[in-house]
Structure 1
């Protein structure tokens, strides 16, 4: 390899791996497309926004958008993935895996709620679009993460051994999404999101029936 070629392949360390200059440029462009799309969705709505408009806003060719996102719903899926990744980053820095399972679930859902509250206008448009046009209730990503936390608690003896952690994760995810959808569909916000999610979690953790 020539010195010039090697210089062009200069990489930055990322988790022990290397990222080429070409890959860094690709990721930067990907982020520009994402930011342009989300800005348009919030400004004029998801349905009204076209791939052509996203290309124009990002100052790229239309084909470039499709090279990164084959469908418009891809932006919605990435929006959800970025939020989950941000919460995982926050909780990882706090070593939340050491918390009791109930506290860990509460912290996870609180951070998700914080993101929604901090960007209510964005959440209103993109969460509603995810429910209408995306795979919000079919995408298992959130329920898998919650199920993992519950399974970890079960392994530590904090959760009943007869509890199906996958089913419990799906129940919590469905409760979370339905709560967010009710919260965004009225203006101003119709209830305290933190309190509502907390109380729903309490019901799921303790059950409905009085112990006999």
Structure 2
């Protein structure tokens, strides 16, 4: 059972996180200082660093939660599913649970607005790509274990995850360019793009166009 002290610490962390994301999305990541985040919550800079290693840590705190949820969702998929189907179902069927996870920390719309900030901020985009590569390696090893293959001898786990990761990045970029920043919009776009992977990789695009 949580103590009063633990609940207070959790509330402080959530307040700092929300203040950080609000400032990042309204005035820009580069123009926001740790002092401003701390001041918004009426705590000291020292208190901020008790909860976050720095601005980047705060910027990706909620995303880290969703990444952990996705890894767990892949691990929980039925053994009979093909690898790409397991990845697809983990992301699409887990959407409501991911939303719930996000909303324990910040409003979902704030999390979604932060995606646009990440895409438009070079330092954050670079960090996002590094984080994505690390998550993809974790998933590749998980798929290899589930399929009973050696991830370092068989390229298929990393290839499957690379394709899936590329679809997710294309989805994020196209969604960020649109006017509808809702969770439903990104979910629909994700499903649509995953449906087109087979055609994109093996289809005859000219023949499809001519018909």
TM-score normalized by the length of structure 2:
0.65
1:54 aligned onto 2:27 = no
Give the alignment partner of residue 87 of structure 2, picking from 105, 124, 129. Answer: 105
Q: Which has the higher helix share?
A: 2
Do the aligned partners of residues 137 and 122 (structure 1) sit closer, same or farther apart at CA in structure 2, a change above 3 Å counting? closer
Q: Secondary structure at the match of 1:135?
A: helix
Q: CA deviation at 1:104?
A: 1.5
Which structure has the larger Rg over C-alpha atoms?
A: 1
Q: Which moved more, 1:97-106 or 1:121-130?
A: 121-130
Gaps of 5+ in 1: 1-11, 13-18
Q: CA deviation at 1:57?
A: 1.7
Structure 1 moving runs of 4+ over 6 Å: none
Give the alignment partner of residue 134 of structure 2, picking from 141, 149, 160. Answer: 141
Count of paired positions:
184
Do the aligned partners of residues 55 and 34 (structure 1) sit closer, same or farther apart at CA in structure 2, a change above 3 Å counting? same
Inter-partner Cα distance in structure 2 for 1:193 and 1:147: 24
1:96 aligned onto 2:77 = yes
Inter-partner Cα distance in structure 2 for 1:58 and 1:30: 10
Gaps of 5+ in 2: 103-107, 205-211
Do the aligned partners of residues 136 and 130 (structure 1) sit closer, same or farther apart at CA in structure 2, a change above 3 Å counting? farther
Q: Which moved more, 1:182-191 or 1:131-140?
A: 182-191
TM-score normalized by the length of structure 1:
0.65
1:30 aligned onto 2:13 = yes
Do the aligned partners of residues 145 and 132 (structure 1) sit closer, same or farther apart at CA in structure 2, a change above 3 Å counting? same
- CA root-mean-square deviation: 3.8
1:1-212 mapped onto 2 (5 Å cutoff):
12=1, 25-88=8-71, 91=73, 95-98=76-79, 100=81, 101-110=83-92, 111=94, 119=109, 120-129=112-121, 132=124, 134-139=126-131, 140-155=133-148, 162-188=154-180, 192-202=188-198, 207-208=201-202
Q: CA deviation at 1:23?
A: 5.3
